[in-house]
Amino acid sequence: MKKNKIVVWLLSLAILCTSSVVLSDDDNVIRVGMPVPGQQPFFWKNKAGEITGIYPDTLRAVATELDLDLEFIPLSQARLVRHFMIGELDLEIGVSPQIKDPAAMAIVSKFSRPFGIANEVIIYDPELSFPAFILKDLKGQKVATVRGSVAPSYLVREDFSSSRQIALRVSRGWNQVGLMREALAMHYKSALDLDYKVSLPYQSNPISFRLHYQRRDLLITIDESLERLEREGILEEIVCKYLCGN
**3-state SS track over 48-59:** CCCEECHHHHHH
Q: Are residues 83 and 166 in the same domain?
A: no
In the chain, the amino acid numbered 201 is P
Contacts of 158 (CB under 8 A, 6+ apart): 142, 143, 144, 145, 175
Q: Are residues 177 and 231 in the same domain?
A: no
Q: Are residues 109 and 142 in the same domain?
A: no
Sign of CA pseudo-dihedral 84, 89, 92, 98: positive
Give the pLDDT of residue 124: 92
Phi, psi (5° rounding) for residue 195?
-115, 95
Per-residue pLDDT of the chain (246 residues; tens, 9 = 90+): 555 554 444 454 444 444 444 555 567 899 999 988 788 889 999 889 899 999 999 999 999 999 999 999 998 888 898 999 999 999 999 898 887 777 888 899 999 999 998 899 999 998 876 555 678 888 888 999 988 777 888 999 999 988 899 999 999 999 999 999 898 898 899 889 999 999 888 889 999 999 999 999 999 999 999 999 999 999 999 998 987 765
| The total number of structural domains that make up the chain | 2
pTM above 0.85, yes or no: no
Q: Are residues 109 and 145 in the same domain?
A: no
Q: Are residues 43 and 109 in the same domain?
A: yes
CATH number of the domain where residue 153 is located: 3.40.190.10
Q: Do 210 and 95 contact (CB within 8 A), yes or no?
A: yes
Identify the CA nearest to 198 among candidates 126, 144, 143.
126
| Dist CA 157 CA 144 (whole Å) | 6
Phi, psi (5° rounding) for residue 123?
-105, 145
Give the pLDDT of residue 18: 47
Q: Are residues 107 and 214 in the same domain?
A: yes
Q: Are residues 181 and 69 in the same domain?
A: no
Q: Are residues 213 and 197 in the same domain?
A: no
Q: Are residues 111 and 218 in the same domain?
A: yes
CA dihedral 38, 42, 45, 47 (to 10 degrees): 120
Q: Are residues 62 and 140 in the same domain?
A: no
Contacts of 82 (CB under 8 A, 6+ apart): none
* C-alpha angle 50-205-12 in degrees, rounded to nearest 5: 80
Looking at the chain, the number of H-run helices and the number of E-run strands are: 8, 12
Summarised one tens digit per residue, pLDDT across range 157-196 is 999 988 899 999 999 999 999 999 898 898 899 889 999 9
Give the pLDDT of residue 133: 60
Q: Are residues 122 and 108 in the same domain?
A: no
By residue range, what is the domain housing residue 14?
A: 2-116+205-243
- Average per-residue pLDDT for the chain: 85
Q: Which helix (H) or strand (E) holds 117?
A: strand 116-124
Q: Are residues 133 and 221 in the same domain?
A: no
